[in-house]
Structure 1
Amino acid sequence: MTKRPEQLKNMVEDYIKTTTLKYEDTTKKSQKLDPRIQWQFVIAKFLTITKMSHRDDRIILNYGLKFSPEHQNASKNLSNEEWTDFVQDMNQFILLQGLTYQYDSKEKEINTILISGWVDVEELNRPNLFKVWDAINSTGTHINHKIHSKLSQTFKPSDVSDTSDIDMYK
């Protein structure tokens, strides 16, 4: 039996409510930007769950990473080889998780990365939704960590003396 968009929205909202995360129904706001959006939730500022009218077969989950101005500037300082390695590592990690991505950049200056996954409507249940949700969140967190560690190195050299005197067992 095919579920109507409103039924799917109610199911997803019920699943979201089982978490302790804050969420917002941004359907009306989002429909002004794209009338194909049937409904949309934003969870904890980074994750969106969306039902689009032109995709009757799936619900889309997106994780958006915005680069800080410092990281945008630092990405310009990477050599072409470092840049290529960075993008290939990111690409490989995301695709191994069964997800897709897009990024907005000009030359080597990345502004945003959007990591995406989906759940087929016919297979929508709480475990399947959370499986994709967890994959996107963990991938986004991993990529964010890689971005920070890679690009922070380019504009702030690490000082070993900052940590060499710290003993975590004191």
Structure 2
Amino acid sequence: MLSADRLFGLFWTVLGAAIVFESWRMDRLEQQHINPWTVPGLVPGLLGIVLALFGVVLAARRAPPSEMPVEQDLLGLEEPPPEPTHGTDEPWRIALSLLLCLGFAGGLVGSGLPFWAAAFVFLFLAILLFEWPDRRAAGTLARGAAQAALIAAVAAALVTLVFQEVFLVRLP
């Protein structure tokens, strides 16, 4: 019987491969002398490759030691390592992801705010809110907010730079 990870890994692998296939079939616009870095299908194709690779990794990964029989525990651990404090058993994370993504795509981008600022807000809130429970428990909220701001600023600048200078995409 397939585990949920294997099933979802197979799903993401097939979806990624389908995206790569359809991206490859797109018109390259050679007759219009389009820069090869800006051809239609390039970014979706690259994302499809990454999606398929992560799907393979998800499908192929082994069960954690806590789920393996003792005779298969190659690490020789007497007790399994502690489970992470968060995971798929916390549905608020899925809801928060959906809310942040919809807020970014539907509210921030195209609202008059420069893309780099919208990306900064999205990334800052995502990092801060997903780390909130662990940071609050550890008493490091201020440090976490500072780190989130730094990471968001660097990532927003790099994403904007790559899209504008490498892919020649005009961002709002």
**Range class of TM-score, shorter chain:** under 0.3
Could you say which structure has the higher helix fraction?
2
**TM-score scaled to structure 1, two decimals?**
0.27
TM-score scaled to structure 2, two decimals? 0.27
The structure whose residues are more often strand, as a share, is 1
Higher-Rg member (1/2): 2
